[in-house]
Chain A
Amino acid sequence: MQPLTLNKVVVRCGILAVVLFVVVVVALKFGAVPVSLYGLAKGLIGVLIGRSSQISSEYGMIIREIRLPRIALGIFVGASLSVAGTSFQALLRNPLADPYVLGVSYGAAVGSIVALVIEPHIAMRPEIAAVFTPLGGFLGATLTISVVYLLGRYRSQLDSKTLLLSGVIAGSFLSAMIMLLITMLPSSSTRGMAVWLMGDLSTPMSPILAWVLRTGFFVFFAMIYLTASDLNLLLAGEREAMHLGVDVRKVQLVVYLSASALTGLAVSVSGSIGYVGLLVPHVMRMIFGTDYRMLLPAAAFGGAIAVVIADTAARTIAAPSELPVGAITAIAGAPLFIYLLRRRLA
């Protein structure tokens, strides 16, 4: 009997942080301008420990202005989607739940597009304007998960297959809405259809939006992590959790809203990158087990690592053209989804 301790969680997260660092360095190397791996690592560590203020000047500009912001975006988008997926899996008691499969990502995309369209027509202070799109994404995500949840209930029981089907149908309906909106609207106010449907990290973000994404991630991750022990019990069912002292309604509300907010944040800046919330928690469960106190931070690091790798592949596989990052995650994620579904049915 060796229960999980805070020490174990910290040590394992440290290891994952090192893996993430290595992945970031390698990802920084890839691109049109050749960069030395050794010089990069040295430069980055120098900046991290505060010995130098910036990376070597030869390629410093490209790294700082182009590659690093894009990788940072990938880190927070990946972590948000992965944590949202892990959370939905506990709440819905379904290991196949993921913001993309449940249609929540598309709901967030519709919300973001609507917000982008409305934004120029309302006079707002710039700080509010910066959170307006993520807020639209959050509302779209919350509304979608509520509808999918209600459709997934059958005779007041949550039915796993009905839930997934409802998610797929909601996703198909919402992706049609995205196409309709993008086609009807002037192209200057929103990004392209492929971005919203497949996900893309190439569009630069304003510094204030980057700040909202980072802060939002830490706040909502913290709110979900505080319920990690409760989520462990919710995996056994609502009644069971209640008898073990979990305030079920409160935990569900906090985690639904936080996971929807993470999805809304991620989608509003990068579009609907699929399967991250499915693929990453599954791999992390195989490595670290099912305890949510370990799984949630592991999923955050794993999501970051996965999206940075996927985006690097998207940038380089068909260079000089670029694939949307969601194409890479779907190529890896869809077969895994089928495998998990078959195993569950067996």
Chain B
Amino acid sequence: MSGSKGTVMERGAQDGARANADARLSIEQVSYAYTPNPSQAPVFTLEATSFQAKAGEIVAVLGPNASGKSTVLKLIAGALEPLSGRILLNGQETHLMEPRVRAQRIAMVQQESQLLFPAKVWEFVLQGRHPHGKSLRFETENDVAIAKAALGDVGAHHLMDRLMDQISGGEKQRVILARALAQQPTLLLLDEPTLHLDIGAQVDFLHTLKKLTVANKYAVVIVTHELNLAGEYADQVVLMQKGKCLRVGTPVSVYQRDLLEQVFQTQLAVEQRVNGRPRVSVLEKSE
């Protein structure tokens, strides 16, 4: 943690940011159709999907490729407008929010994007302060303190003066998370954040995320392929297949062998560990 500087949310409380305790995301019967050419039938449809995320809770959205996971995340982020249904963050529809207001409340951690010109880590994290001010702005001391606290929170304080393209994949994901924290959001969205990380870095990342989610009362929605990591760290999982939301519930209630085998089209074994969390393993494919 960041020592005497305080965590990013404590910093937030100092400058009067709202408390996160009552953050609540509800997705109510949301559907969507992706139609690249208006005269043709949609190439992808998301059928009515509902689930909720509360403050301090991690919801993992799982499913095979093209199951609609990323579409759900884009809808929540307000980047897409639902065909029907509503997505409410504390009572407000996300796609109707002003871009700046939305970015004050919702932070998105995406798979890393290519930078055109190399930026220092601290410059990158300070970008998270952009929504908290006018269009043309120069960062204040408070912004700097918040960015430092965010780097401290993810254990990346020492990377501050490095260039973004000179740190490892695991370090980069932490820095991207720090930028999201610097936004002081109520809702954190993560799109396959552990995709290119080795197993140690994956566990590290999710452990940090879990700790911060509980401490700062974020509502978190994470899209991932990692069944076991989701089973370990998520409070709820949403299982999707071909644009349908099949099941919502605790990992143990959703991770049923028949269901997972049908969704992922492979033979699996599911066991319950001593901590009550499920574990999925792949069985040898019988010819």
Contacts from A to B (Cβ < 8 Å): 1, 3-6, 93-95, 225-230, 232-233, 235-237, 239-240, 242-248, 285, 290-291, 293
Contact = CB atoms under 8 A, between A and B. Distances in A.
A146 B139 CA distance: 34
A293 B138 CA distance: 9
Given A235-B116, A239-B113, 18 more contacts: A1-B161, A4-B138, A6-B138, A226-B135, A227-B136, A229-B130, A230-B135, A232-B127, A235-B117, A239-B110, A242-B99, A243-B77, A244-B103, A244-B127, A244-B131, A245-B102, A245-B131, A246-B99
A246 to B, nearest CB: 6
Contacts of A293: 136, 138
Contacts of A228: 136
Indicate the member of B79, B106, B119, B148 with the most A CB atoms within 10 Å. B119
Nearest to A9: B138
Contacts of A237: 113-114
B160 interface: yes
Interface residues of B, number: 38
Contacts of A248: 99
B136 A229 contact: yes
Contacts of A232: 127
B107 interface: yes
A3 B138 contact: yes
A8 to B, nearest CB: 9
B117 A226 contact: no
A229 to B, nearest CB: 5
A300 B126 CA distance: 26
B179 to A, nearest CB: 8
B104 interface: yes
B99 A240 contact: no
B218 interface: no
B136 A5 contact: no
Nearest to B77: A243
A19 B106 CA distance: 45
Interface in B83-122: 98-104, 106-108, 110, 113-117, 119, 122
A225 to B, nearest CB: 7
A39 B105 CA distance: 62
Contact of B127 (A94, A233, A247): A233
A72 B107 CA distance: 47
Indicate the member of B99, B100, B119, B123 with the most A CB atoms within 10 Å. B99
A4 B123 CA distance: 10
B203 to A, nearest CB: 26
Contacts of B79: 239, 242-243
B137 interface: yes
A12 B58 CA distance: 47
B57 interface: no
Interface in B55-88: 77, 79
Contacts of B1: none
B130 A233 contact: yes
A24 to B, nearest CB: 29
A127 B131 CA distance: 42
Contacts of A285: 117
Interface string B127-150: 110110001111100011001100
A181 B34 CA distance: 47
Nearest to B139: A3
